[in-house]
Structure 1
Amino acid sequence: MINLKFFTLWVLTALCSTRVSSASDSFFLNCGSPENVTVTNRTFESDNNLGREIFDSTRGVSVRTTDSNSLPSGDESTLFETARVFSDESIYRFPIEQHGWFIIRLYFLPFVSASRDLITARFSVSAQNFTLIKDYKPSKTSIVKEYSLNISTDNLSLEFLPKTDSFAFINALEVFRLPENLLPEEAGLIGTQSSKKNLKLSTHAMETVSRVNMGNVSVGRDQDKLWRQWDSDSAYMGEAHFGLPVLNLKAVNFSAGGITDVNAPVYVYGTATRLNSENNPNTNANLTWTFQVEPGFDYFLRFHFCNIIVDPFGFERQISFDIFVNSEKVDSVDMTEVANGTFGAPYFVDAVMRKSKSHEGALNLSIGGVMDVSLYPVSFINGFEVLKLSNDKRSLDVSDAVFPGSSSRNKSSNPRIGLIAGLSAALCVGLVFGVVVFSWCLRKRRSRNRQMQSVHSRGDEQIKQNETGESLIFSSSKIGYRFPLALIKEATDDFDERLVIGVGGFGKVFKGVLRDKTEIAVKRGAPQSRQGLAEFKTEIEMLSQFRHRHLVSLIGYCDENSEMIIVYEYMEKGTLKNHLYDSDNPRLSWKQRLEICVGAARGLHYLHTGSTRAIIHRDVKSANILLDENFMAKVADFGLSKTGPDLDQTHVSTAVKGSFGYLDPEYLTRQQLTEKSDVYSFGVVMLEVLCGRPVIDPSLPREKVNLIEWAMKLVKKGKLEEIIDPFLDGKVKIEELKKYCEITDKCLAQNGTERPTMGDLLWNLEFMLQLQAKDEKAEMVEDDPEASVVGSTLQFSVNGVGDIAGISMSKVFAQMVVREETR
């Protein structure tokens, strides 16, 4: 009988987990903490409040880290602040209402607490008599381990067993039921001898080894309905890779084929890596990725496919290719057979790789046709999952690996029988190979005939699709939803002028409310817009490629009836400009201003480093830095953004665009655009933040009209008190003021090479913000002598890695990065 306290906990957890199912068995626990915490739409409840039938909290000790610098960055960092420590065997027993596949996620970070150093822990973890971890020795970084189990009992038991004279710990854990049919009961075995045999999966436990999104972009937990992390495939490619990233999210059609975005999100099916055959019509190569696996185990593999490739010449090609794992053929994929050839229909293939003495420790995935000699061959893959299967010992731990020939079921063998079996297998393989080659040649000839017949009948239709402005190939992802015009009119009361919250060169911005009460910002392009169609498309494409907590999120767009409308998340506090001058809004404190500068710098730093080629915003100004209800800054308005120079180039030559007063003088005179152009514009914003006045103010005396000339002249004379916003007078220490002005002066250097990078700038701003926080704590201690300063050590998150939502950074501020592996 579940007590009332747990029933309440279960209801709250289920309500906070509606993205899985309101009827799911869902448990999210913040272990060792007295507080609940919400992370990516999940409420992790304190395990102190569980009933004894679930967990006896008296058996464990709650500990908290004494070094907040050891915590990983990002929203999940709060889950690692505390831990539950066990000195003897302890069990969580979760009541299960509906049987089926469940996910278990375990969060570990061995921090130092006042009473324990968790790095010294040694323990094992099991679930339903499956060994998940054996004699675990924690690494020094945070890690999230994920397991899948088929539960057929009324309870799921998760057991922690410390070694003698040691202890166990857990920071947080998740247990929730997966949707039906997400994982199969069985899957076919890879290999010519076992191609028609299946392995029953439901009798095994599975551990997630790799979950990869193709297309050179990662997908974060907040973008997946089951909170799965999809890593970018770039880390698994070899140097001589023939892949080309593709993006076409609009093409994904979940209504065809019965596969939903629970199997994999649109950001997986809408991106792919394809064979780059554009420069060589006779390319005969495979796409190959290499993954590290532990030998002595079988592996469940899932290959995700979705044809999102639009032929640039308007032809509809027949796309067919083979899947290989460690040179063994898994399956053949013919996209004309997927959902009756429906373009954009998601599809996946499941298989099991048996343990083998060859290729130990590596899994090589290859996509392509071994004998494909067609012109401009097409092969691709969208996503790939690798899950380790428990072995005969009911274990997933590497120490329990079982190698071929050493299994308890195969202790005795006859060499003659083995020889005969081997010869028979070789003959069978030769016969099958001959039949396959003959069938392949026959099918190839037929496919060429069908292709030639379809070129003339389908060509016009494909060209029409290209002319709609559909995105074809990009370096990363995410295009928003295409809104019907009627829905946008409904949300904005038919563009009621009373709902206008901003006006710019593109047009007016309206506040809107969707039917589900979601507040949105609607930017509607005016017919005479100075930005026009090119900037409209640029902004959608730029925002679609990147997700970051300090970049305004694209919700969708509308191009119906010649309208140019972009829908963003609504930012309640409006622009930074409106909180500095020319409005009745309350003035910002110095700390708030520093936090806003740090947030905006993080967003820009991510743009400059978040992909192979930098993205230059080109219109950085206080009016394009928006604030949410908590005054968190987000960079907006990407209509003028430009892809930066290649690695072997120093700049991009382009026409001058931007806002008067913020333009980089070097860019203005030479038309040479670099990331340092954004740094200059940001330096102007920093002056606005400090002085609380516009960049150009014609109402002032002539010597004060230009903010940069007036302010920097006084800075060089040491008269800082004359330029500071009167509201801040006496509220900023002179040392901090000097440091701030020094940073600003470097940003405004006439020569771009003398300016700092956005990463250097961010480091300095973060440092100033930490000093400000330390000063405030010190003042609190002076006001209350009995108070103690906790955690006063300066914290740095200068590269903003934790702020990324699902994006893979290819360049980072190297000296400041501590990469946290969470797979």
Structure 2
Amino acid sequence: MAAVENEGLSLNIVVLLLCFGQGKTEAFPELPAKVLIINCAIQIEVQISTAKMIKLRSALGVLEILSVLCISLVAAYTPVDNYLISCGSSVDTPVGQRLFVADDSGTVVLTSPASDAVKASPSAVSGLRDDAAMYQSARVFKAPSSYSFRIRDPGRHFVRLHFFPFVYLGYDLATASFKVSTQDAVLLDGFAPAAAARGNASTTTTTATAAAVCEEFLLDVARDTLVVTFVPLAGRLAFVNAIEVVSVPDDLIGAADSSLSTSDSTGQQLNPAVMPLQTVYRVNVGGQAVAPDSDTLWREWTSDQQLLVGPAMTKGVSYNRTPNYLPGQATANDAPAIVYATGRELIIMTNSTDDGMKQMAWQFDVGRSASYLIRFHFCDIVSSVPGRLHMNAYVDSSNAIQDLDLSAIGNGTLAFPYYRDFVLAASTPSGKLAVYVGSTSQKITTPAAILNGLEIMRILTTAGNVAVVEPTMPPGTKKKNNLAVVLGSVCGAFGFVSVAAALVIVLRRKEEKEELRTPTTSQPSTAWMPLLGRISFRSAPPSAVGSRSPSFTIDTNANTPGGGATPGMAAAASSSPSYRFPFAALQDATGNFDEGLVIGEGGFGKVYAAVLQDGTKVAVKRANPESRQGAREFRTEIEMLSGLRHRHLVSLIGYCDEQDEMILLYEYMEHGSLRSRLYGGGAATATATALSWAQRLEACAGAARGLLYLHTATAKPVIHRDVKSSNILLDDGLTAKVADFGLSKAGPDMDETHVSTAVKGSFGYVDPEYVRTRKLTAKSDVYSFGVVLLEALCARPVVDPRLPKPMVNLVEWGLHWQRRDELEKIVDRRIAGTVRPAALRKYGETVARCLADRGADRPAMEDVVWSLQFVARLQEVDGLDASDVSSLNMVHQLMPPTSLHARQRSAGESETGRTDADEDSSVVDDDYTDASMRGIFWQMVNVRGR
């Protein structure tokens, strides 16, 4: 009986070790991998002691046990330095499978002239997860303080700082703001944990709630002591809940194997192997979130579900075996096996015509402009044979990977972990970073593309003004005497700054009281002065509201919007100025921003209907303080609309930038957006009748003329980049006007064909060639306008997942019927009986040309204007057919030149040959009158004369 039991024990040992050695825990799903190895070790000890009494049946069984145990032990990484500190706690705190020790235990040196240990109340932490026990205590600093760690293994170390703001007696940690630095780098400057918890871009932490946040850094520590110093800002506190300082393998980060740019804007060389890094994102693409206990370096990996963008069809895939780790390639320390064993695969449908469907896209909020190290993790777990999977990858507008064939790198091996590092120099002024992965082949291939993991790390390129509080050393050392000097200097400087800050506050309050006594014109908020630096303010007469402030002109020597103003805009801005409104006047006009007056809402913020004191009705667009896109769009709108005036562009009346507000005032458009009048609902639609076919044609033609003006009115075309039906507004006479210039971009110079830039726009409207190549041209607006033309005809959303699969995408659905010459089958039933066949045919041809896959095959916007005018004539005149006009190009012989570009094309001038007179005239409203256009068409098509 004993022999049988011991045989069973031996069998259990082998099963346990094999499961762990292959990275699988299916046999014991309730136990994580690191617990299994502990259990295995215990059972092996039992087995060895039992072996003394019972003869093992097979020596091979023992060898198998030992060999599998060795494999298992190799997979684990044991850090030399492994400091896990529970700050403010008097007892050690278990977190998952790790133990965080109290900060007064002697493990580290805490140096602080004024600190307190605080505890969170049970109610404050009631919603925290089990692994958030570290957030139940904190160490609060009222003066510069530091933690010091003895470094036994110089080299790369993870430094993780955990924060959870709570209220304890007289301390409200939500008000904390401070700097954190080491001896060599500033890690956080002006850091406010409460604000970071609300909108932090980093998703790399195991936070229990949205109120907890972790900032992770990867530092190259060459000293024998690492000092982490916390310096509260004047009148504020500093605090920390927990600190991790953990050494990592030296080869975890090396020099990037390829670089999108080797230096930043200052010329500093970017070498991630030695520079400090801050983790922004760490994503298990296609899989579930991975907790720190499942990572050999205790990193957290988040899911990519909330980061996916674009129309591409994808699916999560998994691999039920252990990845094939190859020598010289990625290891389990680079990413856990579960990351490489899951991924996201691109699925390309055989009937797909949209190139946007041919690549996966993710968008990341990365905050401020900086340089980044981007690591792609690949593992081909979807191919059945080598050589089929060829991929490209882009970071923003830059090609990061070209024709990647994983099987060639692995000499025919599939499912092996592999990563590529890239350095992206300072960019992403919008605060967003996009990553695209797609197939290299233009043909439909299976599999098409895969991505398994992605890491984005901010490169901290400057040391900044570091602050160091040296630790208290044991008696008898020289540094003991220096401590008083260091602390005295730091505290003296801190006291001086505090007194100076107090004086500034007192003087500022005195000035504010004086301002209340003496009425003055409002001044721009200093918070936005860098954004408005190229706008020069000048005085203007007061208006009926009694407090409009100076207007501005655009500096024509600056870059163009998106950027910057183009030459010739200053004249328009001067002739029709926009005014800065005081915030109080706008509060009054909107009933203190009454929610009942909201007429729209977008990414920038809410739009309110308002009436100024002189009775002028306006639309007030107020930026959402949580919006990350607001500042850039605010500036672009002011620069753009102040420099362009046209009947078919919405006019900017003024703006407000007081009290860190970003508010824009536009002319009020009585009938709302074209989208709302077609199918969108809302106040403008509730009591309105459907637009007739003639009204839709006129609205589209008007919007086209507005876009034509943007493309041709100045030396550089202005590309809207966000043309859609909700950005075409209708006034009380149903005149269409193009609105929302927040994403607008100055186009290429005359000797260039495109502008390379990150892809921006609205889902369903973005030019697929722009998405594919990151090359922006005026033809991108033409594509988006083609989508609007289909909307106007069909009165349905661009993408509607509620519809049957063939009908989901309006572009594909519409082009399908246009190619069959049966467009009448999808015409809005409310106008179906009023559309003449000849007009519909010509309209469909115009739509198809606008939606051509290649920009070179699309018409210019002036040709679109002509085509829509022709459609209108075909609709008006019974019996007229498109064949009555022999050539589309006849319009250029009959129309007067509409722009500087038109004059240059007709005269063959170069940009350098442009005269001042040309520039002055380029800002004049070039809109054609209806009478002149009708005259042109009657010259072309005089039915009665024939």
* TM bucket normalised to smaller: 0.3 to 0.5
Larger radius of gyration: 2
Name the TM-score, length of structure 1 as normaliser.
0.43
Higher normalized contact order (CA 8 Å, seq sep 6+, divided by chain length): 1
